[in-house]
Structure formats: C-alpha cells, structure tokens
Structure 1
C-alpha cells in the first residue's frame, strides 16, 4: 500500500499549515487497526491536507496511496476513503490563485462550516454522501468528509476545468478502481463508489450499464438508495444519455420497490425531470413516508445504529450531530431541494411530515422547514404552528428520552431564527417556558450562561408573555449576557424590565475582560426602551471604564448611542460627549451630540474631518450623521461626493444617501443606489430607507422596490451558508419597501 511513500519529497510539499512532512504518518494512520488512530488520521487529512475542500500539492501526492488503501480489504472504514477521494477530485486550488502546489492557504484551525441554528444535524455527510445539501439546515460544505452534490443544480461536467482540475484529472486517471469498488463486499464502499463512477469514469454508456447491473443484484437498501442518487447525478451530467437513465428512475419509483427507494427515485426525478413526476406528488410522498415509518416501527426496517463511542475527533463529533433517521433526512432534503420554488407543494409536504406519527419524521420535517423559511417568502402560519406542536413532547419530564429532546431542540432552534414569524407557535413556546424553568438559562461548561432557547424564541417573537419570565431571570445572581439583545424584540412590553436592567448596568465592572460582554447587551436594551432614568449608569460607564478594557471603543459607542436617544436635557451628558469628540468614536459622538443639543456648528467640523479619514467604517458613520443634519451640512458635500466613488458598496450607498439629504442632488445619487441594489443585496434595506425619505425624487427606483415585493425569494439567500438573522433582515426590508410604496 505504501510502496514509494518515503521517496516522495514531502518536506518540499505543502498543506494548510505548512510543510507536508507529517502526511506519511497520516496515511499510515488511515490503515491502523485502532479506530481512534484511524479517526485522528482522517481528521488530519481534512484539517490539513484537504482543508475546507482545498487541494494542495501534498493532496495530489496522496491520491495514489488513498486508492491503494481504498482497494485493500484489510483496511477498515474504506468507504470514508472513497468519499475523501471524491472530495479531492471535486476540490479547488489554494485561495489567492496559487493553484495546486502553491503555498499555505487558510491555516485557520480547521474550522468546520456549520449551521449554528442546529441545521448541521440535518445533513452532515461524514461517512455518506449528502445529496441536496443546503435545504433543511444542512451545512453547505462541512469540510469533514462530506461529498455534497446539489440535487437540482449541477450541469454536465460542472467541475471540469475549474481551479481543482489537476485533482479531477488525478482521480479520473484511476477511475477503473471505482469499477471494482462498486462491487466490493463492504456496503459503505459500494455506496460511495457509485457516485465516484458517475463523476470520474468518462464512459457514460458503460457507467449506466454498471449502475443498472448493480441495482438488479444489490440487496442493501442504503446502497440501493445511493445507486438511485447516482442515476440522478448521471442524468444531470450526461443529458445525451438521460432517457435510458430516467427509465431506471421511473422503474424504481413504483411498486414493488421499498418505499424509501421510491422516495429516493422521486427526489431524483424532481431534480432532473420534474415533468415526469406524478400529478399527486405530495400525497404520494406523504403516503410513502408513512409506509417507511411503519416498516421501521414493525422491525422490517430500522434506523441506522449510531455508535456513541465515536472518538472525540472532528469526524466523530459530526457523526454524533447526524439526525437519528439520517436516511429519511437525506431522502426528504433531496426532494425539497429539487422542488425549489414550488413553495405551495413544499408547504403541503411539510404539513404531512410534521403531522406524522413518527417523531423522527417530524424532526426531519422541522429541519426541512428551516431551509424553506430561510429561502422563500410565503404564508407559513400553518407549518410554524405545527412546529410549535412539537414542543409539547418536551414539556414534561422527558417521557420520550433522547428522541424527545432532539425534536424539541430542533423546533426551538428553527423558531428562534424566525423572530416575529414564530408568532403562530407562541402559545406552544409559552407553555414550554412555563412548564420548564430549567430551560430558561443554558449553562455552559467553559463560558458564560446564555438565555435558553425556548425563552429566547418566545421573546424574539415579540410575545409580551416573555417579559415576566425575563424579570425572574434578571433577578437571578448571574444573568445571561445575551438577555439584553433579546429584550429589544419585545418593544414597549419590555418597559417593566427597565429598573432591573439599570441595576445590572450599574453593577458592570469597569476594568474586567467581561465588561464588553455584559455592558453592550444591557445598553442595547435600555436604548431600545429609551429609558431616561439610565443616564447616571451610562455616564458612570463612560467616565470610569479602564483604558485597557477589551473592545472598549465598542462599549463607548453603545453608551454614546444610548445617550443620543435618552440623554437630552440630562445633567452632565453634553460635557461627557464633548469630551469624546477627539476619540476614535468621534462620528458616533457627533451624532449623539446633535441629537441632544442640535448645534450643527459643534459637530460639523468633526464630521468633515472623519469623512476625510482613512478608516472606512468611520467614514460611513460620519456620512450617516451628516444625512441627519441635511442642508446644514452643505460644507460636507465635496467629501460626500468622493465617498460616492468609494470601492466599498456600503460606503457608496452611505455617501449617496447623505449627499441627497445634504444637497438634494438626484442625478448623481440614483445610479449609485440602483447599482448597489442590484449588485449588493445586503445594502437594499439602507437604500429602501433612503427612498422613503426621498419621496417623489426616488420614483425612478420604484421598479426595484416593486420587483422586491413581488419576488418569492428572500434577498439574502446565498450559496454556502446563511446568517441566523437573514429572515429578520428580509422581513425588515419588505416592511420598508411597503413604506416606499405608501409614501
């Protein structure tokens, strides 16, 4: 297996962390009889040699040895090695255009791209492909053994000629090995080799024949499903041979085949030939889902047994994150991905999943819903209410054990990212919060406590019933650091919390590493409540905070913004702010001083200076404040005109909006706003707010607003991940767009 390994000049090759001298040890570790050593070696391969999908010169040098390992029956976990080869073949060169063989790229510690909302559990592909990733909360690229083709969007030979082309060629040169491995005695090897055949063997007719042959003799359900997925991949990669392959999918989608296999076939048809789907697709899928669940309950089929003794490695941790019914999650995620914008069908399908008698099906449905909510706009009141019903399982003393907790936690996670769209589930959230005080606060082993998911979700939904519970949490000796950030979503109903928030702010240490984490959320909450009685506590923070405090300037900015909202007329506020006009927070300070004093002559010179500075974020702050001054800031017009030409879209938009407010100039501003709206979706909220202020002057851009309001797709949808507040930001954009049309 390792013939010639010591003749490779590993010291002259590179991986993510520098020289590749340690790679021979990793390769030998993959052949170890010790499962812990094998897992650690696989970790090393993904962490360093194939870090985040990157192919280095050392990665290419590993390919022959990986093929030898994958073909040796005495080696354990060979399916994972086949998956590693697939991932390498689909990889990319080091960032920065160095190409394969370039120097060290990202050496950032082997971070794994994961869905912090819990969605990673829906589709981590360690030890198995994750077709259709990106829906239902799956991470787009785990970087830990996942081979995740898009079930609906891959064209013929999509990777060919890309930055990883040398790696593709290296794996393609050994494609005959996959012909042997597709008939291997190890089912995990057969599963992975089916995909590898389609990707790397350049003989379409032969590949299709091999797949058809394996389908007729295969007896393992999981391998059959992998073969089915590979047939769908074949259709997308080789459209000239599609008709024959589609016949196979149509055959697999009918009785007497196993319901799980029929679901897999329907998912592939949805991705590559939707016109061949049955007219009654959703009822058919729901019925098959029920049949599959009944098979599991009756013992005729079973969930994949999880080995809870997985070593504490990256791959082991990802395995433990998988859903209890991983196959079911994969089948439905593939179908949801393929259905794409057929939102009404997907909602109906979700309602069937969430109404299942099987908790594993319902849990998968919850994660599928997360992907739909995040990407598409629609009325989700029914599925959200159904997700709320899943919280009842965990309302008592855990009668359902681990599966009960899994379902409850999934529902809480998804609802928490919906903010006010979670309102249809608020009654269920409140019931859970009331019944389970032990879930109010989440206590971590190595960091400060945070607000528990159910209470956080209830508060984020804007439900006033969260207020008295938060008051009890505020009365505890240790308060979660993130509580203040949650309170802002309650609006005026959180007013009774102001005295306790003030008290807590007055207790924040002025010289501690915790000052930032404790002060900023409290300041955010008090600012949102416009609590004038908090002035003394804010001034205490500004005047007494030690110079060396971590992120001190961020604390100062938050305190200054608070004074700008509720410090007007209070003793000591103006002198405190004037004393900060030469600080690195000068723009924020000028904005607060303008709010409390209204003296343009005091702040305009500061803002003009900030606008001419070298710090981009400070220039943007200055532009925002100048926009509030309006025509009084005409002296800043030349600086704003320069900002309109900035490289950063956010700067250009800030400059354009301020230039209109200051000078009323339209011809120069509107093209900038249009280009930014089209090219940088993240700035649309700022542009829309500017159009509200512009009134009739902004009418030439109303076509953008109309298109946004008519679009079924959320504006922040992007490949490769998402943010936990994407839905909130999109809903806010829609609200401002409606204001534009009313104005």
Structure 2
C-alpha cells in the first residue's frame, strides 16, 4: 500500500503551504483505524495537497498511493479516497488549465480500469464514487455503458443506484453519438416499478440531456413522487456515527441539509430545467405545500437560485415561503427568512407573515454576533426591505434600545417617506456619535445613509460636525466624507451653510463628491468645473469616471469638458467609456456620436445596462436607435446582472430596476 513512499523526496515537493514533507503522514492517516485521524488526513489532503482544486507536484506524487489505498478492502472510508482521486483527475479539457492539471488528468486516466473494478467493490461508498469515475476517465464508451447497465441490474443500495443514474446522464452528455442506450435506461428508470427517488433522479438527467423524453405532466409527476418519497423516508435517517472534528470536511458535514439526498435530487432537476421557469415555479409551489417540513425546507433553498437567475412573477412561491415563517421548525423558518432577504419588492407577498413574526418575536429584532457588530434581525430587515410601513414603529423601538444595529440605515431607502418619523433619531445619533472612536465610524456611515434617504434638512449641523471633526487618520475617512457630501447634495439649497466646508474639500481626495454636492447647493459652475476638468486628467480611472458622472449633471455648462471626455470613450475600462458617453450626450444633447459606444458597452458588460438604459430613456425619441436593446432585454427571461452563485442583494435590485426602465421606454408601464 505504501511501497516506495519513503523513496519519494517529499521535502523537495510542494503543496499549498510549502514543503510537502508532511504528505506521507497524511497518506498513512487515510489508512488509520481511528475515524478522526482519517478525517483529519482527508481534510489535510484537500486543504494542502489539492487546495481549492489546485494541482501541485506533490498532488501528482500522491496519485499512485491513493489508488493503492482505494483498492485495499481493509481500509475504511475508501469512498472519500475515490472522490479525492476523481477531483484530482478533473474533467476533459484539464489541459487548458495548465500542465499540472493535464498531467493529473492523464495520471488518473491511466488507472481508469481500477475504477471499473471498484464499481463492484463490497463497500457501497466506493461503488458510489466509482460510478461517476468510470464515465469520466474510462475512454471506452461501449464498455462503460455495459458496466453501468450491469451494475444497475445487480445493485441494491439506493445511494449507489442514484449515483449510477447520474452517471448515465453524464455518459449521455459526454458521448452524444452513443447516448441512445443510456437514455433508454433513464427512461425506464423514470417510470414504475422504480422507487420515487430513483425516478426523480432519472427525470432530472432526462431534463438535462433529453427533455423530449419527459412526461407531459412533469410537475405533477415529480410533486407526487416527492410526497411518496417523503412517506417512505425514515424519520431519522440511518447514518454511521462520524467524528466531530474541527476540519473543513467535518464542518461541511454539519452544514448539510437534513435530507441531503432530497436536496441533491431537487437541485439537479431545477438546474436541468433551466429556463423552463413556469415548470420550476410549479414544482416549487408543489414542494412548498408538502406536508413534510423537510421537503418544504428543500424547496425554500431551491428558490433562492431561481429568483436570482430568472425573471418571472414569483408572487405565489414567495407567499408560500412567507407561510413557512409561522412554523415551529427553526431550520425551516430561518431558511425562509434567508430566502426572502434581499428580494425587496419581490418579497411583498410575504409581508403579512413577516409582520406577524416580527410582532410576536422581539428577540429576533436584533442579531448579535460572536464577532462583529450587531445587525438587524432577518425578519425585521426583510419586512423593511419590502417597504412595509409596519416596520417603522419597530425600527423606532430598536433605535431607542440599548443595542443599535450597524446596518439599520441601509433599509431606510426601501421605506421611503414612511420612515420620516425616524429622522430625529438618526439626526441625534449623528450629532452625538464620537468622531474620535474608530469603532463608531461604521455607525456614522449608517446614520449618513439614513439621513440622505430621509432628506432631513435639520441634519446639516451634524453633517458639518462630522466633516470638520473627523480625524485625518480615520480609516473610513474618505468613505464618510463622500457620504456626508452626498447628504448635503440631496438637500440642495437647504445646506447653504455647508458651502465653506465643501469648498475646502475641492483640493483633496474627496474633490469629486464635494464638487457634486456644491453644484447641488449653489450651482456655481466657476467653482466646480475647474475641479472636474482637473479630475479628468489624473491617472485614477475611478475618479475620472466619477468626474464624468458629475459633469453629466452640469449639462451644457460643462462643454469645456468635452475635449477630456471624448478620449475616455475609447478607454479600455468599460465603465469609463459608459460614463463618458452618457456625459457627452447630456452635455451636447446630440446622441449620434455616442450611440455606438453605448451599444458596445451594453454588449460587453451586462452591469452597464442599467446606466445605459437610463441614458437612453432620458434621450426620448432621439434614443430610438438603441430601443432594440431594451426590447431584447425585456424579452429575455435570464437575469444578466446576477451571479449564479449568489441570491438577492443589489444585483437583483438593479436587474428589477433595469426592467422597469426598459418597460417605461417601450411603453410597458
């Protein structure tokens, strides 16, 4: 098993944290009779030798020893070792990632026949991991399909059968010319007499590679199968005792859903259905009305990816998620709150349930953390994010309490004028916040955010106190000054007493936000234009872009800036081009010179689309040459501005705002 391990010069090899001299101990630890030692060893392999999927020379040196360990039946937990080998081997196309990845792929493929043998191993965990490995690394399609067909016939372990079903789908996608046999097997597995879990798994694979083979009543079929599966699932799933180690492997195990198998089945099906949003909404609603809270919890987690990636009317599933807030199941309630966080207007169908939870659970109003500042509790935050005025009196109580969340100001923009009664509290807070204390600066920022949204004309003395009294060395000084200037800017002429302080900032790092605010307060072009022209000439692309945005506000009075703005439309920085093009139009009123720039940035970077759409909307009829972009955006069901690994947040808000702008231009309301 370890023959030759001491002949390798491990000290000369490297892993993520330096010398690989500790790798032999990890390899031996994988064969330990102590479960905790095995888990720590596996964690070390993933944490150092295969850190975040990377391949080092020590990773390659481990491959033969890992295969030797995987093949010895007396070694416990060999399924984890096979999974590690599969991860090291990577996918087809590994050579594109570099020589090390290509060599790892080749090394694992060279022993792919061992995976075929392990597919019939006595250990179910090994068989489960080997099922996918034979498809990925054994380059003999006919042999692979025959092996999968044979194993499906004789296999009795449900977990391995699910892995074999997933492998059939992988085979069909990897070998499309020879997929017919795999698809026939999947079609057979998707119908009686197979059990509900296997049928759902088969439907998920068919949805990904042969949607024409799906039943016409797919949603009703899957919902019925889910409920059948729930009735058959043990109340307490049988699982071997595992060590409680402080490792990544251990932490991930503790974070897994209580029904990991069901979660995986649903995730596979939802992912495969992709743009079939109506089917996915129907499936979610079916799950969310299940008698089983575990099924409902899985549905809640599935919803986050759907909401964030696809555009649709989510009123029904959101209302059903809101209904989960009244449950006694803490896990389900917390999942529902998490799924609704960041949805803002989209979460309004859940507002009544949110308010009921907030009213009945004052202990959830503020979230205390072991490390870091306290924050608004999830239910109250989401209620405020929906714009529901019922959040305002609760926020008032929170602000009057002994612990004030650092992020309370961030929800004020959602509440609009309904939050006006809170203005005196925020104002007093700004007047009293200790400026010399670095710990208070984050709170000062949230106060400024709130006061800007509330447009509180009586807050000027407090803002000036901050501008004039903030220590030069303050870590957040630039951010605080920028937002303080922003507050004064939205107040316009009501902030005239701040003019001297703003003028004093025109020569420093905060010149652009100061000039922006000064223009709003006194509209003195002679004071702000020279500052903005200077900022266009500096090397900082962010400041040039910010200056262009302010120049756009000046309109025709900023014509002297055109000579500096035009070269920016050819910048390598897409945001610089966007801001410059919008500014040129707002200054000249002539769209033709910038239409091509706006079209190109729209195509190059989806995050520019909101800015471009707002500019096109402001152009009126003269923006018609770009209206095709806005119509195409409205026709797309995909959210272009949201990363697939996130949910909620500013990206979703901006995407919804983009749609509203596009509808306004297109006459859709």
Q: TM-score range by the shorter chain?
A: over 0.9
SS in 2 for 1:740: helix
Residue 728 (1) aligns with residue 653 (2): yes
Q: Which structure has more RCO (C-alpha within 8 Å, separation ≥ 6)?
A: 1
Give deviations 1:357-410, integer Å, cap 9, x for gaps. 00000011111111211111111111110111111104xxxxxxxxx1111011
Aligned-pair CA distance for 1:351: 1.0
Deviation larger for 578-587 or 239-248: 239-248
The CA distance in 2 between the partners of 1:187 and 1:94, in whole Å, is 29
The CA distance in 1 between the partners of 2:122 and 2:342, in whole Å, is 44
- Mapping of residues 151-550 of structure 1, within 5 Å: 164-296=101-233, 303=237, 305=239, 310-394=244-328, 404-550=329-475
SS in 1 for 2:267: helix
Map of 2:98 onto structure 1: 99
Contact 2:345/2:386 (CA < 8 Å) preserved in 1?
A: yes
Aligned-pair CA distance for 1:564: 0.9
Contact 1:56/1:100 (CA < 8 Å) preserved in 2?
A: no
Contact 2:310/2:638 (CA < 8 Å) preserved in 1?
A: yes
When you count helix as a share of all residues, which structure comes out higher?
Answer: 2
The CA distance in 2 between the partners of 1:552 and 1:93, in whole Å, is 48
Aligned-pair CA distance for 1:250: 1.6
Map of 2:82 onto structure 1: 82
The CA distance in 2 between the partners of 1:683 and 1:201, in whole Å, is 45
Aligned-pair CA distance for 1:36: 3.1
The CA distance in 1 between the partners of 2:230 and 2:388, in whole Å, is 36
Give deviations 1:391-433, integer Å, cap 9, x for gaps. 1104xxxxxxxxx111101111111121110000100011111
The CA distance in 1 between the partners of 2:154 and 2:370, in whole Å, is 51
Contact 2:94/2:105 (CA < 8 Å) preserved in 1?
A: no
Aligned-pair CA distance for 1:693: 1.8
Residue 36 (1) aligns with residue 6 (2): no
Contact 2:392/2:418 (CA < 8 Å) preserved in 1?
A: yes
Give deviations 1:630-674, integer Å, cap 9, x for gaps. 111111111111211111111110111111112334333111111
SS in 1 for 2:421: helix
The CA distance in 1 between the partners of 2:493 and 2:327, in whole Å, is 50
Map of 1:669 onto structure 2: 594
- Mapping of residues 12-23 of structure 1, within 5 Å: 12-23=12-23
Give the ranges of 4+ consecutive aligned residues of structure 1 lying more than 6 Å apart after TM superposition: 91-95
SS in 1 for 2:627: helix
List gaps (5 residues or longer) in structure 2. Answer: none
Contact 2:325/2:357 (CA < 8 Å) preserved in 1?
A: yes
The CA distance in 1 between the partners of 2:228 and 2:437, in whole Å, is 59
The CA distance in 2 between the partners of 1:334 and 1:579, in whole Å, is 59
* Distance change >3 Å, CA 487–CA 696, structure 1 → 2: same
Coordinate RMSD, CA, aligned: 2.1
The CA distance in 2 between the partners of 1:362 and 1:581, in whole Å, is 56
The CA distance in 1 between the partners of 2:273 and 2:148, in whole Å, is 25
TM-score, scaled to structure 2: 0.96
Contact 2:219/2:279 (CA < 8 Å) preserved in 1?
A: yes
The CA distance in 2 between the partners of 1:318 and 1:171, in whole Å, is 26
Contact 2:309/2:644 (CA < 8 Å) preserved in 1?
A: no
The CA distance in 2 between the partners of 1:564 and 1:2, in whole Å, is 71
SS in 2 for 1:21: coil
The CA distance in 2 between the partners of 1:94 and 1:346, in whole Å, is 33
Give deviations 1:497-548, integer Å, cap 9, x for gaps. 1111112222322122323321112211110111111111111111111122
The CA distance in 2 between the partners of 1:92 and 1:54, in whole Å, is 16
* Distance change >3 Å, CA 306–CA 501, structure 1 → 2: farther
SS in 1 for 2:434: coil
- Mapping of residues 41-80 of structure 1, within 5 Å: 41-80=41-80
* Distance change >3 Å, CA 51–CA 560, structure 1 → 2: same
The CA distance in 2 between the partners of 1:179 and 1:15, in whole Å, is 30
The CA distance in 2 between the partners of 1:67 and 1:267, in whole Å, is 31
Give deviations 1:431-469, integer Å, cap 9, x for gaps. 111111111111111211111111111111111111111
Aligned-pair CA distance for 1:721: 4.9
SS in 1 for 2:215: coil
Map of 1:693 onto structure 2: 618
Map of 1:599 onto structure 2: 524
List gaps (5 residues or longer) in structure 1. Answer: 102-163, 395-403
Residue 557 (1) aligns with residue 557 (2): no
The CA distance in 2 between the partners of 1:253 and 1:91, in whole Å, is 27
